[in-house]
Chain A
Amino acid sequence: MEINNLYDALRNIQGFIYPNEIELRWSILIVLYPYITGLVAGAFILASLEKVFEIKEVKPTYRLSLLTSLSFLISAPIPLLFHITHPLRGFEIFLTPHLSSAMAVFGFVYIWYLMAILIIEIWLEYRKDIIEWSKRKKGIKGILYKILTFGVDEINEDIENFDAKFSKTIAIIGIPSAILLHGYVGFIFGSVKANPWWSSVIMPIIFLFSAMVSGIALVIFVYMVLNYLKGKPLQISCLDTMAKYLLYAIIIDFSLEMLDLLQRIYEAEEFFDMLQVLIKGKLFISLFILQIIIGAILPILFLGYIQIFNASDSAKKFTYFVVSLMVLIGIFATRWNVVIGGQLFSKSLRGLTIYKLGLIGREGIYVSFGLILLPFIILVFLIWLLPFEERNK
């Protein structure tokens, strides 16, 4: 935070805080990072529903889920690079990772997931098309396709079968990898014994399930928007299946979050008084309104109604679209409550500071908006290069 913001915070402190706690170090960029990696993991797990569990209905979104996952994965390290004050030293995480720190595994997990899982998965899925396009297309696209073939420009049934098997193996390994990619972020917070709001066994699990929720919602959203822009019809069975899994995931995620809250309220440890102050005050809107009502309860009601009582196609499409947006907002609020909420109160449990979110600056609103738009821009590029329509296989 800049000096002016710090003087502001000084004027607005409530109660007592340790003097060094005035500055809230982990800003909105650190809210964005778990949000983005959550979307990566969730979109990938949706894709693996088709590949590993052979749920045929979601096949129309298989390629789209993978591309969405990749575009968000590429954008994921950028909020981190913007946040650390010596980004040029960032490569030290690869040179001398301190393995007792959960944050140190970022380098390995990220590279592993990007290289060994996602890129191979996408490459194997598109290889047959790439080889054909490399021969047909001209210009920049042609060059890019030729590079992507690695020079192997022939394919036959044997190789195709092998590709299919290998792809399934990668998808199976990919599920725990995706879990690790986002789970370690949950562990980063859950293992901080100094912070009673974060320190919890259930934190990585909650992060994971909210990641799945947000990932599925994102793919629904992107699928509907893209097909609308291209004027293509939506396959209602695909949407129905995705919405069903979204409902299951929200129910599990919501139950876990409420269980955590219930346990804290029941055990009423030292943090209990501060917890009340937080959720009745600074976190009231982001917790009750955004995370719980808009992010969980209303989606459960709408999706549950459709599951039980059915509805017309157009009503369903409208509901799915609105619900996916609500969930995306709700999960962002979840991340906000964890990251910002955990830094608002003093570790003396006697007071609160404030978080001032500026407009400009490296950690301001404009940059954050840009970082949320960036993966969509990358996705547009990826779809231009690797269209996701089903080929006649």
Chain B
Amino acid sequence: MKRFGKYSHIKRLFGIYFGVLFLFLILRPFLIPKSFGKFGHYRASSIDENINLNTKYADIKECKECHEKEYNDVASFSHKNLNCQICHGALLNHVENPDEFKPSIISDRKFCLLCHAEIEARPSSFKQIDEKEHFKDEECISCHLSHSPNLK
């Protein structure tokens, strides 16, 4: 007959518990990602992961290198200081591969109206027209050059 002490069962139970806890504490440093905790309670390598993303937008000074005329047109009139990419979309692709990626050339009336239609809440200091009145069947570019939009 085995003789068990008063606390044998408790000792065995807690032995198992502490064993598991001990195992966890030993494994934990191996399971936590290496850069965790370097700057704060997060994985420090995530900062670089967030920095090393690709951008799709170019610097418009690069547009000037090939499109100097359009650049100067824009620079002189009421669309001055506008970024080419407002109308032509993200252009880094085009800068890197000018022949493979051609940006769109917009001539549609709807596009100009996105900014220039008179709608509620637009500040009155901004040039806007009533789209139902102002030459409603014509394209904007029949009278306004898009890069230098004063009348032709």
Contacts and interface: CB of A to CB of B under 8 A. Distances in A.
22 contacts: A94-B24, A95-B28, A95-B31, A95-B32, A96-B41, A116-B17, A127-B9, A149-B9, A150-B12, A150-B16, A152-B4, A152-B8, A152-B9, A152-B12, A153-B2, A154-B1, A154-B3, A154-B4, A159-B4, A159-B6, A159-B9, A162-B6
A159 to B, nearest CB: 6
Interface in A68-106: 91, 94-96, 98
Contact of A115 (B1, B2, B17): B17
A120 B28 CA distance: 26
Contacts of A162: 6-7
A158 interface: yes
B13 interface: yes
Nearest to B24: A94
Most buried by B among A127, A152, A153: A152
A150 B32 contact: no
B114 interface: no
B39 to A, nearest CB: 14
A100 to B, nearest CB: 8
Contacts of B1: 154
Interface in A149-177: 149-154, 158-159, 162, 166
A98 B9 contact: no
Interface string A164-204: 00100000000000000000000000000000000000000
A123 interface: yes
A217 B68 CA distance: 80
Contacts of B7: 162
Interface of A: 91, 94-96, 98, 115-116, 120, 123, 127, 149-154, 158-159, 162, 166
A96 B24 contact: no
A166 B32 contact: no
A151 B24 contact: no
A98 B28 contact: no
Contacts of A115: 17
Interface string B1-43: 1111011111011001100000010001001100011000100
A120 B31 contact: no
Given A94-B24, A154-B4, A123 B13 contact: yes
A382 B4 CA distance: 28
Contacts of B31: 91, 95
Contacts of A154: 1-4
A120 B2 contact: no
Contacts of B32: 95-96
Given A95-B32, A152-B9, 6 more contacts: A120-B13, A151-B12, A152-B4, A154-B1, A159-B4, A162-B7
Most buried by A among B7, B8, B9, B32: B9
A96 B31 CA distance: 10
Contacts of A149: 9
Contacts of B8: 152
Nearest to A131: B9
Contacts of B36: 96
B41 A98 contact: yes
B41 A150 contact: no
Nearest to A163: B9
Contacts of A120: 13
A159 B10 CA distance: 10
Contacts of A152: 4, 8-9, 12
Given A94-B24, A95-B31, A152-B4, A166 B41 contact: no
B6 A150 contact: no
The 10 closest A-B pairs by CB, nearest first: A152-B9, A150-B12, A152-B8, A152-B4, A95-B32, A154-B4, A98-B41, A95-B31, A162-B6, A158-B6
Contacts of A159: 4, 6, 9
